[in-house]
Amino acid sequence: MSAGYDILIVGIGGQGTILASNILGEACLIEGRTIKGAETHGMAQRGGSVESHIRVNGLFGPLIPPGQADLLISFDLLEALRYSHYLKKDGKMVVNRHLVLPTSVYTQNLVAPTEDEIIAALKKQNLCLLDADKMAEEAGSPLSQNVVMLGAASQTIPLKPESLRAAVRDLVPKKTIEINVKAFEMGREFGRTC
Amino acid sequence: MGRKYLLGNEAIAHACVESGVNFVSGYPGTPSSEVIDVLRVQPDRSYYIEWSVNEKVAFENALAAAWCGIRSLCTMKHVGLNVAADPLMTSAYTGVTGGLVILSADDPFAHSSQNEQDTRCYAHFARLPCLDPASIQEAHDMIPEAFVLSEELGLPVIFRPTTRICHSKGDVDLGEPAVNIRKGEFHKDPRQYVVIPAHTRVLHKKLNEKQSSIRKQLVERGFNHYQIRGKIALIASGIGATYVQELLPEGISFMKIGAYPIDEEWLGDFVKKHEKVLVIEELAPEVEEVVRQVAGSVPVLGKKNGYAPYEGELSPQAVAAIMEKAGFLPKYPFPKVDPIQNLPPRPPILCAGCLHRSAFFAIKKVFRDAIYPSDIGCYTLGLQLGVVDTTICMGASITVASGISHSGDPHDLVCTIGDSTFLHTGIQGLINAVYNGANITVVILDNRITAMTGHQPNPNTGMTACGVESPPVSLDAICRACGVSFVESADPYDITGMVNILQEAKKRKGVKVIIAKQMCVITARRAGVKRGRYGVDPEICSGCGTCIRFGCPAIEFADEKARINELCSGCTVCAQICPAGAIAREGKK
């Protein structure tokens, strides 16, 4: 399509997809690139499935069409599967090895795929799987999971790591800068292996 | 100011500051809420700002301020404009002296709304100009122009962003905040501001006389423009125009509509230079209808002959499909991909520890076979718990309950309404129910905040939009003043207490009100409330599933046992309802 690079970040409302999108946006500004994006706000955020579209070098609309994303970052295994059709054929997936079953599974007795089944299905595409929660905890706070994920994805994203680092410093709460910088580096280090 | 990566609503808010806005009012509603949420926290604020109790109140306040010659902004979601429609229609007659911009945000696809109505129809109905941005940058750039236009025409201007403008993000070039600070001054002019029949007939004529100059001005200002590139043409508006630009091949002419009313003569000249015209716009066929009026023998493709849908939102792939169907081949083909089927859905749910879930649990326990009219708020999610039978618009829980009660239906009626919604348009329904002798139980779910739209304060919070302390209204006193004799308060976390009061209400005739008071779990967390987590003792858990059916996202079930995860807020309700007594505060077993 365009010379753009389309990133879809998905997860569950409250996991920090919006901060991740802001970091990418800030990094684009640092590099003087254009950027367009779209987010889930309002009631849909309450524990529901959420998506952030980020179009690096985007000039037109904010939405990534299905089958066009260059990169899918998912904070949850089931959500990775739900949005996997957004990825283009040779696109890459960076997925947190973390599964929250939707409450519908319990209240309506629905069948959810197991962790192994999901991973097997995701492996049909170019998958980078990491335990971002564990790494975030090691970095100093489980809340830095989203920054770990960005770090891992930074190996693929066509933005300079120093721009992303600067954006992380600019946007995370002041008290947590060190933790988040560490989280980014740990993610980035892991991203080298996949 | 330079370039920033901003949410559409943040860019709009900034543009209002650049325009020297003096007065801001509104009622929260997705996707409009962040405009005021951004403006109300600016440190060096030089404008007055309020969250009003409803859109009609917000509108009339802003209109009056604009009558005093200052620049006013009034924000709401599309359905809020229904509430403000009464003053809106006549404000076109009275006009304004200071600029008045009415931001009414549409929600195609009803991401967070009860319908997909189109604000442009209101503009047409009221004969007011309407600006319809196609991108965040355009939304930003249109705001200063909207204020100028409003002052030049002496009319309110409607500004209509959609969800994909409000809640999209992009790099935006910002201007400097304005320094010009006006002071309001009301000049008495009854012929303008007292719309008795003798005055209003004259004002109506004046409004109609302004129309042709409005149409011309909107073209001159460049909101509506075109490029002739071939024998066939595509006309698009709003975000649809942005998707079209991404897909538009060479050799097809393009017209972008960004403002209404459209100049028919100008439009006709363009259409008649082509052999076929396709119109792409979200929701109502506002552009298409005008195109059809001027097209003569030129074929027009659009909603009316099945090329484009009337409902839902557009997307690049939806626009590509419309173009293909109409024989306007898009620049790029779209791969046909399907999502994986049969995955368990993850809809939004009430938070772990939400007061609404506990209140609903108690209601269901006492009123097993009742009819449950409800209202607009987070608690509409009670649908998943089987305790929401109707939702139509703000304030329509008490009225629907009393209507059913008078219909002869023998069931008990228990309706639920939030504190903000009750103050918005619930009170009139309560007065009416008491006055006309309905038999209903009203549960006011009182979390002292407008939670769903992002925790805006309301008159029940004890704080204004700017964080200044204000005397909180007494819901209890309001209900008593409406004539309700049974008004009781209860803590929804205390299931026994809630059940006892509901049982008491069930025994009585007439209108009974129960105020279920508990902080929103999100505001409680932000305020630093820590209650400690709860856990399940697997030795005692019988695996009966009672806690699972409660529907709290903090409770999971595996290997025939319940488990409580890190989402637990310590509300204690699951511990109260567990028949085996297996749930207790962690570390205190």
Token couple for B182: 């006006």
Q: Do A66 and B317 touch (CB under 8 A)?
A: yes
Given a contact cutoff of 8 angstroms between Cβ atoms, the answer to whether B571 and B367 are in contact is no
Tokens 């990418």 appear where?
Answer: A24
Q: Which of B505, B558, B508, B551 is nearest to B536 (CA)?
A: B558
Q: CA B251 to CA B234: how far, in whole Å?
A: 11
Query: How big is the A-B interface in CB pairs under 8 Å?
Result: 168
* B549 closest CB neighbour out of A26, A85, A107: A107
Residue B5 to residue B11: CA distance in whole angstroms: 9
The C-alpha atoms of residue B370 and residue B418 are separated, in whole angstroms, by 19
The C-alpha atoms of residue B517 and residue A123 are separated, in whole angstroms, by 49
Can you say whether residue A83 is alpha, beta or left, with left for phi > 0 and alpha for psi between -120 and 50 degrees? Answer: alpha
Of B7, B339, B343, the CB nearest to A78: B343
Other CB atoms within 10 Å distance of the CB of residue B161 = 31
Q: Cβ contact (<8 Å) for A62 and B111?
A: no
> pLDDT confidence of B330, banded at 50, 70, 90?
confident
User: Which run of H or of E encompasses B254?
Assistant: strand B252-257
Asked whether the beta carbons of residue A62 and residue B347 sit closer than 8 angstroms, the reply is: no
pLDDT at residue A2, rounded to an integer: 44
Predicted local distance difference test score (pLDDT) of residue A3: 77
The tokens for B251 are 């050799």
Contact B1, B174 (CB under 8 A): yes
Determine the 3-state secondary structure of B331 from DSSP.
coil
Give chain A positions within 8 Å (CB) of B551: 103, 106-107
Q: Quickly tell me which residue has 């696809």 as its tokens.
A: B109
CB contact under 8 A, A45 and B555: no
Determine the residue among A63, A81, A101, A111 to mutate to test chain B binding: the one whose Cβ has the most chain B Cβ atoms within 10 Å: A63
- Rounded CA-CA distance B463/B40 in Å is 12
Residue pair B447/B492 in contact by the 8 Å Cβ criterion = no
Write the CB contacts of A114 (distance below 8 Å, at least 6 apart in sequence).
none
Nearest CA to B195 among B122, B84, B102, B87? B87
Which residue has tokens 């009974």?
B512
Of the candidates A165, A181, A156, A144, the residue with the CA atom closest to the CA atom of residue A16: A144
Distance in Å, alpha carbon of B451 to nearest chain A alpha carbon: 9
Question: How far A176 CA lies from chain B's nearest CA (Å)?
Answer: 17
Whether B30 and A43 lie within 8 Å, measured CB to CB: yes
- Locus of tokens 């659009």: B302
Chain B closest-CA separation from residue A20 CA (Å):
13
**CA–CA distance, B264 with B290 (Å, rounded to integer):** 7
What's the angle, vertex CA B505, arms to CA B503 and CA B510, rounded to 5? 150
Q: How far apart are CA B307 and CA B290, in angstroms?
A: 17
Q: Would you give the end-to-end CA distance of chain A in angstroms?
A: 26
Average pLDDT over residues B434-442: 98
Q: Which residues of A touch B238 (CB under 8 A)?
A: none
* Cα angle A142-A153-A97, degrees, rounded to a multiple of 5: 50
Angle at B85 between CA B81 and CA B89, to 5 degrees: 130
Euclidean distance between CA atoms B574 and B436, whole angstroms: 40
| Whether B453 and A81 lie within 8 Å, measured CB to CB | no
Which helix (H) or strand (E) is B585 found in, with range? Answer: strand B583-585
CA dihedral B458, B460, B462, B468 (to 10 degrees): 20
Q: Give the residue on B whose Cα is nearest the Cα of A49.
A: B346
Instruction: Please judge whether A48 and B4 are an interchain contact, meaning their C-beta atoms are less than 8 angstroms apart.
Output: no
**Is the predicted pLDDT of residue B588 greater than 70, yes or no?**
no
Token pair 């109790």 in the structure block, residue: B53
Query: Nearest Cβ partner of B348 from A13, A65, A105?
Result: A13
Identify the pLDDT of residue B589: 47
Task: Using alpha carbons, select from B322, B121, B172 the residue that is nearest to residue B240.
Answer: B322
Give φ, ψ of A69 to 5 degrees: -70, 140
H or E element, residue A129: strand A126-130
Q: Show residues of chain A in contact with B4, CB under 8 Å.
A: 29
Fold for the domain defined by B2-220: Rossmann fold (3.40.50)
Task: Please list the alpha-helical segments (H only) found in B97-196.
Answer: 119-126, 136-153, 163-166, 190-193
Residue with the two structure tokens 């604009």: B66
The pLDDT tens digits for A24-45 are 999 999 999 999 999 987 666 6
CA R_g for chain B:
27
For B343-384, write each residue's pLDDT tens digit.
Answer: 999 999 999 999 999 999 999 999 999 999 999 999 999 999
Helix (H), strand (E) at residue B103? strand B100-105
| CATH number at B225-325 | 3.40.50.920
Q: How far is B200 from chain A (nearest CA, A)?
A: 41
Angle CA A94–A97–A101, to nearest 5: 120
A55: nearest CA in chain B? B170
Cis peptide bond prior to B339, omega within 30° of 0: no
Residue B337 has its nearest CB partner, among A39, A42, A67, at: A67
Q: Considering only CB atoms, which chain A residues are within 8 Å of B171?
A: 25, 28-29, 33-35
DSSP A127: E
Nearest CA in chain B to A21: B169
Angle at B468 between CA B464 and CA B471, to 5 degrees: 70
Contact at CB, B169 and A62, closer than 8 angstroms: yes
- The segments of chain A whose pLDDT lies below 50 read 1-2
How confident is the model at residue B377, as a pLDDT? 96
Shortest alpha-carbon distance between residue B449 and chain A (Å): 15
Q: Which of A36, A50, A103, A122 to mutate to test the interface with B (most CBs of B within 10 A)?
A: A103
Please return the burial class of A137, using the count of CB atoms within 10 Å of its CB with bins 0-12, 13-18 and 19+. middle
pLDDT at residue B336, rounded to an integer:
85
Chain A contact set for B332 (CB, 8 A): 1
**pLDDT for residue B390 is more than 60:** yes
Residue B527 has pLDDT above 70, yes or no: yes
Q: Tell me which chain A residues have a C-beta less than 8 angstroms from the C-beta of B337.
A: 66-67, 85-86
The answer to whether A121 contacts B3, with C-beta atoms less than 8 Å apart, is: no
Contact list, A63 vs chain B (CB under 8 Å): 164, 243, 315-316
Residue spans per domain, chain B: 2-220, 225-325, 355-526, 534-585
Alpha-carbon dihedral sign for residues B437, B438, B441, B443: negative
Largest CA distance in chain A: 50
User: Residue B554 pLDDT more than 90?
Assistant: yes
**Stretch B487-492: mean pLDDT, rounded?**
98
Residue-level pLDDT at B1: 75
Q: pTM score > 0.90 for this model?
A: yes
pLDDT score for A44: 61
Residues of chain A in contact with residue B346, where contact means CB-CB under 8 angstroms, are 12, 47-49, 78-79, 82, 102, 104
Please judge whether A38 and B340 are an interchain contact, meaning their C-beta atoms are less than 8 angstroms apart: no
**Residue A169: Cβ-neighbour burial (10 angstroms; 0-12, 13-18, 19+):** middle
| Nearest-CB residue to B5 (from A29, A61, A106) | A29
Into which CATH architecture does domain B355-526 fall?
Answer: 3-Layer(aba) Sandwich (3.40)
Q: Per the structure block, which two tokens stand in for A113? A: 């795929």
Taking contacts as CB-CB distances below 8 angstroms, the residues of chain B near A84 are 340
Select from A38, A61, A83 the Cβ nearest to the Cβ of B167: A38
Mind giving me the DSSP string for A41-55? -GGGGSSSEEEEEEE
Over residues B151-204, the pLDDT tens digits come to: 999 999 999 999 999 999 999 999 999 987 799 999 999 999 999 999 999 999
Number of neighbours of residue B45 by Cβ within 10 angstroms: 13
Q: What is the pLDDT of residues B252-288, one digit of tens each?
A: 999 999 999 999 999 999 999 999 999 999 999 999 9
Average pLDDT (B538-562) is 93
B389 Cα to chain A: minimum distance (Å): 18
Please report residues of A whose CB lies closer than 8 A to that of B452.
42-43
- Kindly state the average pLDDT of the residues B570-579: 97
Rg of chain A over CA atoms, in angstroms?
16
Yes or no, beta carbons of A67 and B345 under 8 Å apart: no
Q: Which of B7, B338, B344 is closest, CB to CB, to A104? A: B344
From the list A29, A63, A89, which residue is nearest B171 (CB)? Answer: A29
Residues of B within 8 A of A79 (CB-CB) are 346
**Out of A61, A106, A113, closest to residue B316 by CB:** A61
Range B534-585: architecture per CATH:
2-Layer Sandwich (3.30)
Question: CATH assignment of A5-191?
Answer: 3.40.920.10
Structure tokens at A106: 């319990």
Nearest Cα neighbor of B216 from B261, B255, B256 is B261
Residues of A in contact with B242 (CB under 8 A): 60-61
